[in-house]
Amino acid sequence: MLASEDAGVATLTLDRPDRLNALDASLLSRLTERVAELEARPVESRPRVVIITGQGEKAFVAGADISSMAGMGASDARRFSELGQRLGRALDEASFAVIAAVNGFALGGGCELALCADLILASERARFGQPEINLGLVPGFGGTLRLARRTGPGWANRLILTGEPIDAAKALEIGLCDAIFPARELLAKTQELARKIAVKPPLAIAAARRCLLRARTTDPTTATDFESGEFASLFASADGQEGMRAFLEKRAAIFRGS
């Protein structure tokens, strides 16, 4: 896995182009560890946005590595599934925003990885799908839950039960991605969006992500009660006070993450 950072934006590039960046246990573990390392940093040195993309021109992640899966028994498969779901939870619970730059195939585990992101930006040649049923399997990294939340149950049912892929235009139409760009522009456009987010106050980014997670995973009363608590806590932060003062004084705010 390749990693780079600039101005509050970290880019994690999955680098198995010979395997179309297919996810095996090692790559899942390394990506989870890297997310944990970034999250463990002090707030002043932690990235505010993480971009996840794939190496090469063909694939974001073409899926889980079938060659490593073929010899698995049920217990091995359970552990492999839990590795993918552990990565999803790490991304859900991170205090930085996550953007997937889908530069090609995002199939199976690749689609599930993209679904862990707050925003999914796609190349014009991206293709999305959950083809596990064609192998006699089902998604194992959280796809049955995350896909339905993003697209609604109708399209989740269709994609998972037929195993058929869709192109970027259809993905945009059904809400599976948020924007499409020419392949040569995808990373630059993703970085442009990431920089817009990275100048926002880190405590508010983290609080917004926590609120959005509760909105997806709990009942409305619990979610709105949680939102009230996060709203109130930011009033006790230096960044919250600085943001309001700067607005009233008609100047740019200086956010320090405190």
Look at residue 17 and tell me whether its pLDDT is greater than 90: no
CATH architecture type of domain 202-249: Orthogonal Bundle (1.10)
**Residue from 57, 132, 192, 227 carrying the catalytic annotation:** 132
Residue 164 among the catalytic residues: no
Q: Do 35 and 90 form a contact (C-beta atoms < 8 A)? A: yes
Of 112, 185, 192, 227, which is the active-site residue?
Answer: 112
pTM: 0.94
Q: What is the largest CA-CA distance in the chain?
A: 65
DSSP bridge partners of 101: 53, 121
CATH superfamily of 2-198: 2-enoyl-CoA Hydratase; Chain A, domain 1 (3.90.226.10)
pLDDT in tens, 177-220: 999 999 999 999 999 999 999 999 999 999 999 999 999 999 99
Domain boundaries, the chain: 2-198, 202-249
Q: Is residue 71 pLDDT above 90, yes or no? A: no
Report CA 253 to chain centroid distance, whole Å. Answer: 28
Q: Based on the residue annotation, tell me whether 124 is a catalytic residue of this protein.
A: no
Supply the mean pLDDT for the chain.
95
Matching CATH topology for 2-198 and 202-249?
no
